[in-house]
Amino acid sequence: MKPYSLDLRQRVVEAHENGEGTHEELAEAFCVSLSWIEKLLRRWRETGSIAPKPHGGGRQAKITGKKLERLKALVEETPDATLEELRRKCRVKGSIMSVFRALKRLDITLKKSHSTT
């Protein structure tokens, strides 16, 4: 989920400064939650900033660099390989979901063709 725009944040703070309504009324007028209004105004009072906080991070990808290149080459060699087969051939110690996410980052889909027999 992306953070609300800086423009919206500025309009909310300006409306609050101009006394255009209670927190509840501002939330309804700007189609945002009451808790978001309260957090934004608290952040503005305490730090003077209305900019969104940076992304908190998350887990590091298991397949990067040379392993990612190897995965791409493996898919080109054997496009009908399963995620499990690709995981084994790349020697990844993660789940098949880590392979799936790596393929998604490469914009590669593994769609099986239907049997014609």
- 57-74 pLDDT, tens digit per residue, is 888 888 889 989 999 999
N- to C-terminal Cα separation, the chain: 45
SS3 60: coil
Q: Work out the pLDDT band at 108, boundaries 50, 70, 90.
A: confident
CA distances from 65 to 61, 89, 106 (A): 10, 16, 12
What topology does CATH give the domain 6-47?
Answer: Arc Repressor Mutant, subunit A (1.10.10)
pTM of the model: 0.53
Q: What's the whole-number mean pLDDT along residues 99-108?
A: 91
Element of type H or E holding 29: helix 23-30
For residue 110, the model assigns a pLDDT of: 67
Domains of the chain, by residue range, sit at 6-47, 65-105
Q: Is the pLDDT of residue 80 over 90?
A: no
For residue 112, the model assigns a pLDDT of: 60
Q: What's the whole-number mean pLDDT along residues 4-25?
A: 95
Range in 44-48, 59-63, 69-73, 109-113 the model is least confident about: 109-113
